């Protein structure tokens, strides 16, 4: 009985959709038809039979409707990604209705989605308008240069990547011109940009360069810190403390892992597949 009711409801929905699509097509056709008074035929107009409008079938739009339905039923995180990608790529301001037209994400249809977007660090909500919120608001190469110039210890390239679409190209240009140093780390997330102060652009003798390159440093940071202390310099790192904390954290994580891996004994709720061997279950715990 419940299945028949659902089928009837689905058929009614199809009929309503067909009626709506047919009315839309009829309205469009009436707009395109020339305005002629009834009973008056334009001069030299050929007598031709008027073809009846073909109704739009509901199945013609099934694929698009299925796509919309899949988006609406996806997780909040998946819908957020669609919205943020749109804001990031276009760098334009959108209303919720415009976002719905572009991505089929109905922001006002889900309170959880609206709250997540409103509280997201990369989304700016100004009244009814949504836009992308970069880590640093920059508009071009000059502002990028001034930002790097004012960073005493440099700035992570990762923080600059979303400033504006061509920011990495401008950073490469500043590097090529010698205005900025782009230092690479072990991975791209550790890259930093530093201001190349013209006051310190000096010529270094080749002998000094050779001496610098030929000086072998200890491989262990503990030894480097000891050498710095010997000459009266205070190291900025504390390797011994860091390693001790790492050992404590590692021991704690190992103990948790062992506790999780500890096997439980056979209980009365265990699924038994060898009932033909009753001697295996003499010590069955409850």
Residue 199, pLDDT score = 85
Rg of the chain over all Cα atoms, to the nearest angstrom: 35
Q: What is the rounded CA–CA span in Å between residue 106 and residue 79? A: 9
Residue 273, pLDDT score = 57
Q: Collapsing DSSP states into helix, strand and coil, what is residue 114?
A: helix
Residue 48, pLDDT score = 46
Residue 276, pLDDT score = 54
**The dihedral of CA 197, 184, 81, 114: what is its sign?**
negative
CB 18 within 8 A of CB 56: yes
Residue 269, pLDDT score = 57
Q: What is the rounded CA–CA span in Å between residue 158 and residue 127? A: 29
Give every residue of the chain whose pLDDT is below 70, as ranges.
1-3, 7, 17-60, 252-286
Q: Which ranges constitute the DSSP H helices of the chain?
A: 2-32, 62-72, 76-90, 96-103, 111-119, 141-149, 157-160, 167-177, 206-214, 221-230, 239-261
Residue 186, pLDDT score = 73
CB 85 within 8 A of CB 71: no
For the chain, how far is it from start to end, CA to CA, in angstroms? Answer: 45
Other C-beta atoms lying within 10 Å of the C-beta of residue 267:
9
Residue 47, pLDDT score = 45
Other C-beta atoms lying within 10 Å of the C-beta of residue 284:
13
Residue 217, pLDDT score = 81
């Amino acid at each position: 009985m419940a299945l028949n009711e659902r089928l009837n409801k689905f058929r009614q929905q199809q009929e309503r959709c067909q009626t709506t699509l047919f009315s839309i097509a009829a309205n469009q056709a009436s707009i395109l038809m020339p305005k002629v008074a009834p009973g008056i035929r334009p001069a030299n107009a050929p007598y031709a039979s008027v073809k009846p409008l073909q109704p739009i079938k509901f199945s013609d739009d099934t694929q698009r409707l299925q796509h919309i339905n899949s988006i609406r039923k996806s997780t909040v995180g998946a819908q957020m990604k669609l919205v943020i990608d749109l804001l990031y790529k276009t760098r334009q301001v959108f209303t919720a209705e415009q976002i719905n037209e572009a991505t089929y994400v109905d922001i006002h249809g889900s309170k959880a989605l609206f709250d997540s977007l409103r509280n997201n660090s990369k989304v700016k909500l100004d009244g009814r308008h949504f836009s992308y919120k970069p880590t640093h608001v920059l508009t071009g190469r000059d502002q990028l240069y001034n930002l790097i110039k004012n960073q005493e210890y440099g700035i992570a390239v990762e923080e600059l990547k979303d400033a504006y679409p061509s920011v990495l190209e401008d950073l490469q240009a500043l590097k090529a011109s010698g205005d900025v140093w782009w230092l690479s780390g072990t991975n791209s997330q550790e890259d930093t940009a530093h201001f190349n102060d013209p006051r310190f652009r000096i010529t270094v003798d080749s002998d000094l360069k050779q001496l610098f390159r030929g000086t072998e440093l200890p491989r262990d940071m503990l030894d480097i810190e000891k050498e710095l202390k010997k000459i009266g310099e205070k190291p900025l790192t504390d390797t011994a403390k860091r390693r001790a904390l790492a050992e404590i954290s590692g021991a704690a994580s190992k103990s948790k892992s062992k506790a999780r891996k500890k096997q439980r004994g056979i209980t009365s709720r265990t699924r038994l597949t060898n009932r033909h061997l009753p001697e295996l279950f003499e010590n069955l715990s409850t």
